[in-house]
Amino acid sequence: MAIQFTPEGVCLAHVRRVTDSKPLVTFCAIQQADPADAGALEKLGKEAHLSRYRCTFSLNSGEYQMLVVEAPNVPAAELKTAVRWRMKDMLDFPVNDATIDVLDIPADKNAPSRARSLYAVAARNDIIRRRMATFDAAKLPVSVIDVPELAQRNIAALLEEPGRGLALLSFDEDGGLLTFTHGGELYSSRHIDIPLSQLNQPDSEQRQRYFDRITLELQRSMDSFERQFSFITISKLVLAPLPPAVNLEAYLATNLYLPVSTLNLDEILDFSTVSGVGAAQRMQCFLVLGAALRAEDMAQ
C-alpha cells in the first residue's frame, strides 16, 4: 500500500500487476488525517485494513535532496559510504545528519566506457525518524521510503514507446515535476516551482506568465537532456491529469517541438474494482498510484 501525505489529506493506493493486462487498482482513496497524529493514522489504518499490507510512503518536496554525483570507484558494499563523503559539501545540512540512498543512471551501452553517474537521495534523519515513529505508533509496517521522482518513473514506464524516451510533467501543490525516462529508468528530473493552485486560477494574464515560465523551463530542460543523453530520443511530452480549466496542453503544443498530450489514467490502469474514484480523485492520487506500481524486484 502506497501512502502519501498531501494538503488534501492522506492519499492511499494499492495496485496489483496483472500478466498481459493493465495493472489493477485494488484500492485508491483520499482520507483526512494529520500525518503527525499517530492516533489519526492508526484509525485510518484500521479503516483501510493497512496491517494486511506492506506499506510504502513518499517523502514530499522539501523533505529530501536529490543530487547527481559521479559514482565512486569502490566495491558495491562501500558505495553509500563513499557517496556520503562526496555529498558532504553539496547538502544544505550536515551530511552526518542524513539518511542516504543511491540510484544508478544508466550509461550509453554503445559508448566507450566512462565514469558513470548516480542519483543520490538524502533526507534529514530527524524527518525520517519522526515519520517512522508515527507509523510505528500507529502499528503500521513500513517497508519502503519512496520519492516522487521514482513514483513518476513507474507511470512513465507504462507510457514509453519501445526504444524511445519519454518526458512526463505533473503538478501538485509542491510544484511541477518533470522526469525524463527511457527503458523504465529515470535519467533526469527537474522541479518547477509553480504550485498547481497558481495554474488553476481565473486571472488569465497571471496564468499566461506561469505558462511562459513553464515553457522556458521545459525548453531548457529538454536542451540540457539532449546534450547529456544524446543516445536517447524523446518521443513526446505527456502531462499528468490537470483540472480542465488549466488547459496547459494546448499552450505547450503550440510552443514546443515535441508532441504534447494529457494522460488518461484509464488507458494504463484498470480501475474496474474500485468504485467512486472519479477524475478529480485520480488526479490527486497520481503520484501515489505511481508509488504503488513499484515492482517487487526493484532495487529502488
Cell of 58: 513518499
Architecture of the domain spanning 65-124? 2-Layer Sandwich (3.30)
The CATH number of the domain covering residues in 161-262: 3.30.420.40
Q: How far from each other are the two terminal CA atoms of the chain, in whole angstroms?
A: 16
pLDDT of residue 298: 44
With contact defined as beta carbons under 8 Å apart, do 74 and 60 qualify? no
pLDDT of residue 6: 84
With contact defined as beta carbons under 8 Å apart, do 189 and 66 qualify? yes
Measuring CA to CA, which residue among 126, 141, 149 is closest to residue 60? 149
Measuring CA to CA, which residue among 41, 51, 58, 48 is closest to residue 26? 48
DSSP 277: -
Q: What is the DSSP string of 262-274?
A: E--GGGTSB-TT-
| Domain ranges across the chain | 65-124, 161-262
Angle at 18 between CA 271 and CA 143, to 5 degrees: 90
With contact defined as beta carbons under 8 Å apart, do 1 and 58 qualify? no
pLDDT tens string, the chain, 300 residues long: the values are: 999 988 778 999 999 999 999 999 999 999 887 777 778 888 888 888 888 998 999 999 889 999 999 988 898 889 999 999 999 889 989 999 999 999 999 988 777 666 789 999 999 999 999 999 989 988 888 999 999 999 999 999 999 999 999 999 999 999 999 999 999 999 999 999 999 999 988 778 888 999 999 999 999 999 999 999 999 999 999 999 999 889 899 999 999 999 999 999 999 999 999 988 888 899 999 999 999 999 754 444
Within its chain, how far is the Cα of 191 from the centroid?
11
Cell of 24: 489493477
Q: Which residues of 269-282 are buried (b: 16+ CB within 10 A; e: fewer)?
A: bbbeebeebeeeeb
Same fold, 65-124 and 161-262: no
Q: How far is CA 81 from CA 45, 52, 98, 250, in A?
A: 36, 35, 12, 47
- Report pLDDT digits (tens) over 246-281: 989 999 999 999 999 999 999 999 999 998 888 889
pLDDT of residue 34: 76
